[in-house]
Structure 1
Amino acid sequence: MKKAVIVFCSMLVFLMVGCSSNTDETTNQGKTKEAGENAISITDFSNRTITFDHIPEKIVSLGNGETDIIYALGEEVVGRPTGDAVIKESENALEVGSSHSADLEKITSLDPDVVLGNHPMNSNDVQSIESIGSEMILTSANSVDDIKKQITLFSDLLNKREKADEVIHMIDEKIAQIQSEQTEKKPRVLLVYGAPGTNMAALPNSLSGDILELAGGENIASDYPSLEMYPQYAQLNTERMIESNPQMILLMSHGNPEEVKEGFINDMSKNAGWNELDAVKNDQFIILPHDLFGTNPGTKIVDALDYLHELLQDVKE
């Protein structure tokens, strides 16, 4: 079991791009005269106060969600996460690694004003970023509220509060619309994060768990004990899962999700009662889109909410 958890934890590093174990309240400290008339001072999710003498122009982002927010505010990045450009407009930006493995040499070549990283994953990178004359802002997303706080923080940094208010209003409207369509009886759902050899249940204090509840689902793992290192996830309890009889099983995974799904089914099918689960009988075992659920989707959180809400509408009793 220890080996399985270690394998999972190494894979979960990817998911931690959009998540963290602790999120401090993000507040705008306004302008400060000590650093000059036009100085901007903000406090990030790690409770670090960072001051800029002007609005940052050269931005590097280590996460897709942060990149999305910057473009939604009408700005752009010079450096983006390595891999396919989730934000099409950013495809010409230099690929600089990611939150779990930043490429300092490439970042240095861009001479950025600011690097947007993850809290707590990039806490150890702050000193290196500062040593090249740049600043690092750390944020994270364990909930929709966290994403809204990211939007507000970045808008204060870039003097885009009016645009941020529009985006946040759009998110709030989507939540209100979905909740107005919900019924009292919520579909029972198991959210699984899968990696080769092991599977974990996502808890309500994870971003995906928060999306599930906002979309109108009941997380059957809500009272599972959390993992010490990653408190947004829990060891899957097969006996309790079968007792809860989920109507839908949703899988998040990196790498080859079909392979992970097959491995999960092979493991679970050895347990008595697996074939009697409503989710199994009604073929409600679904792989979630990675760009919406495998990481922080940024302002595309509205698409994630829509996607999950529509899935839940199709759940059969």
Structure 2
Amino acid sequence: MVKKSIFLFLLACLYLTGCSSAPDHNVHSDPAASSESGFTITDFANQSHSFNEVPERIAALSNGEMDIIYALGAELVGRPNSSGPPSIEEATEVTQVGSTHEVDLERITYVQPDVVLGHSQMNLKDVPTIESLGAKMVLTQAQSIEDIKQQIHLFGEMLQKEEQAEQLITNMEEHISNLSDTLPEQKTRVLLIYGAPGTYMAALPNSLSGNLLEVAGGENIASDFQQLDAYPQYAQLNTERIIEAEPEYILLMSHGNSDEVKAGFLKEMEQNAAWNNLDAVKEGRIDVLPSDLFGSNPGTKVTEALDILVEIFRSIESDESP
């Protein structure tokens, strides 16, 4: 009887030990499963951002980031400020939350984003404030077509839409390659100016617009101008050197009212007789570029910006043909 009791006791212990080991196994497997479902991205400011799931509530402070998010099939809860309709029609009813120059914290708080997309230089100072509101701030910039491709890749990782991102990049590269095959051999000499009422600067090759100009077959006459300390992608207008370079075309771009910028620039030229000796001025080859494509990062629509420049340069070639 005693032996039987001991046997039953040992059997019960083995049973209980086996039962208690099962929960331990499950506890260790759950964290492993959650780590596999989570992911981490690194933005242009070298900040690492970890996500347990794909963020659904995203706010963007500039048009390029907005364009890429919608191109990847996602949506925004907050979009950049605009004086007119947004560049993305689907975002018309989305709350405006400021810009990279001035974040509207009240509206950011209202839309409760998981992620705010900002500029790696201008918005680095805003990271602690945005994080205090419970959101991550993913920072990028676009000073070249390559930067835009990296933005697409990064946002594709963030949204777990890597395949769609790679397809967007491939489409962009194919478009640029096809354009390159049709560019005229002779480059068009261009003065590319960023303007706001009373302020005009020459865009340099290290700016996005300067990069677009060169890819589209233009020659930037300000390429060796000294960059400004505050705005290293731009230079002061040097009238003497501009006259010497004899640009074939003068292109203006602006964030604001394009007509007002052009009128102000023409008025400034009237006050300097040297400008009026330029063939580009005498022949009226001064154009204002669309602000949604050149006033800021156009995102995936960078191909449309290139098409416009190529068309302008081809028109010059046609005018010069016998």
Which string of whole-angstrom CA distances, capped at 9 and with x for unpartnered residues, describes residues 251-274 of structure 1?
Answer: 012333323223322322344443
Once the two structures are TM-superposed, the CA of residue 43 in structure 1 deviates from its matched residue by 0.8
- Kindly indicate whether the alpha-carbon contact (under 8 Å) linking 2:100 and 2:118 is maintained by their aligned counterparts in 1: yes
Once the two structures are TM-superposed, the CA of residue 39 in structure 1 deviates from its matched residue by 1.5
Alpha-carbon separation, structure 2, partners of 1:254 and 1:116: 19
Alpha-carbon separation, structure 1, partners of 2:256 and 2:155: 31
Q: Does residue 74 in structure 1 map to residue 67 in structure 2?
A: no
- Kindly indicate whether the alpha-carbon contact (under 8 Å) linking 2:45 and 2:120 is maintained by their aligned counterparts in 1: yes
Change (3 A) 1:203 1:35: farther
Alpha-carbon separation, structure 2, partners of 1:126 and 1:50: 12
TM-score normalised to the size of structure 2? 0.85
TM-score normalised to the size of structure 1? 0.86
Moved more, 265-274 or 202-211: 265-274
Question: Partner residue of 1:199?
Answer: 200
Structure 1 residue runs of 5 or longer lacking an equivalent are 1-31
Query: Equivalences for 1:74-153 in 2 at 5 Å?
Result: 74-83=73-82, 84-153=85-154
Structure 2 residue runs of 5 or longer lacking an equivalent are 1-30
Q: Tell me the secondary structure at the aligned position of residue 97 of structure 1.
A: coil
- Kindly indicate whether the alpha-carbon contact (under 8 Å) linking 2:256 and 2:291 is maintained by their aligned counterparts in 1: no
Question: Partner residue of 2:215?
Answer: 214
Task: Letter of the 1:65 partner, please give it.
Answer: G
Question: Partner residue of 1:186?
Answer: 187
Which string of whole-angstrom CA distances, capped at 9 and with x for unpartnered residues, describes residues 276-312 of structure 1?
Answer: 3221132110000000000010100011011111011
Query: Equivalences for 1:1-317 in 2 at 5 Å?
Result: 36-83=35-82, 84-315=85-316, 316-317=319-320
- Kindly indicate whether the alpha-carbon contact (under 8 Å) linking 1:56 and 1:114 is maintained by their aligned counterparts in 2: yes
Query: Which has the greater radius of gyration?
Result: 2
Alpha-carbon separation, structure 1, partners of 2:304 and 2:164: 19
- Kindly indicate whether the alpha-carbon contact (under 8 Å) linking 1:33 and 1:39 is maintained by their aligned counterparts in 2: no
Alpha-carbon separation, structure 1, partners of 2:137 and 2:32: 22
Task: Letter of the 1:173 partner, please give it.
Answer: E
User: CA RMSD, aligned part only?
Assistant: 1.7
Task: Letter of the 1:177 partner, please give it.
Answer: N
Identity rate, percent: 55
Once the two structures are TM-superposed, the CA of residue 35 in structure 1 deviates from its matched residue by 7.5
Q: Tell me the secondary structure at the aligned position of residue 157 of structure 2.
A: helix
The structure whose RCO (Cα within 8 Å, separation 6+) is larger is 1
- Kindly indicate whether the alpha-carbon contact (under 8 Å) linking 2:183 and 2:310 is maintained by their aligned counterparts in 1: no
Alpha-carbon separation, structure 1, partners of 2:306 and 2:53: 36
Once the two structures are TM-superposed, the CA of residue 247 in structure 1 deviates from its matched residue by 0.4
- Structure number having the greater helix percentage: 2
Once the two structures are TM-superposed, the CA of residue 86 in structure 1 deviates from its matched residue by 1.3
Change (3 A) 1:241 1:35: farther
